[in-house]
Amino acid sequence: MREYYFEDLQVGYRYSSPYGRTITEADNIWFTLLTNNVNPIHFDKKYVEENYSGPPFHGRLAVNGLLTLSIAVGLTTELSAKGFMLGISNVKFIKPVFHGDTIRVECEVIEARESKSLECYGIVKLRGYAYNQYSDIVLEFERTIAVPKRECKKRDT
């Protein structure tokens, strides 16, 4: 895993997750139950077959959107492994995700500035896109992270 610092993440920098994540039925049902989501579109096959037999679901259980978002953010955490997340915004669920879909993420730095309150950090905003195995965009989001400055690491050693 590469170490990223604020100086590496300037506006225009592009990142692609080095691997994808295939979402299983167990992932979806566990996540849905753990978060107390009672929408049967995520866990009741008979309900979905009866009520969502046409496109785009075709009677298939849909992956919980927050699980898709969590996986997408997770696939970008290499960028903030030495820092921390400040927020997520502008989330758009473009297409449904289904069991067996493999998600990968690409993102771009759209803002970068020095932190006003944390001397050794910069604030970086990323715009991310999650894709399925067919290269369809399934999710768009923005993520704001605090990333340490390289100069502070040198100072600490």
**Host H or E run for residue 156:** helix 150-156
Task: Check residue 115 and give its pLDDT.
Answer: 95
**Average pLDDT of the segment spanning 130-145:** 98
pLDDT bin (cut points 50, 70, 90) of residue 2 is confident
**Host H or E run for residue 121:** strand 121-131
Domain range 6-156, CATH architecture: Roll (3.10)
The secondary structure of 74-106 as a DSSP string is HTTGGGGTTSEEEEEEEEEE-S--BTT-EEEEE
- The answer to whether the beta carbons of residues 93 and 70 sit under 8 Å apart is no
Task: Check residue 90 and give its pLDDT.
Answer: 98
CA pair distance 72, 91, nearest whole angstrom: 11
- The answer to whether the beta carbons of residues 13 and 145 sit under 8 Å apart is no
The pTM assigned to this predicted structure is: 0.91
Task: Check residue 152 and give its pLDDT.
Answer: 85
CA pair distance 124, 112, nearest whole angstrom: 4
- The answer to whether the beta carbons of residues 127 and 110 sit under 8 Å apart is yes
Task: Check residue 157 and give its pLDDT.
Answer: 44
pLDDT bin (cut points 50, 70, 90) of residue 151 is confident
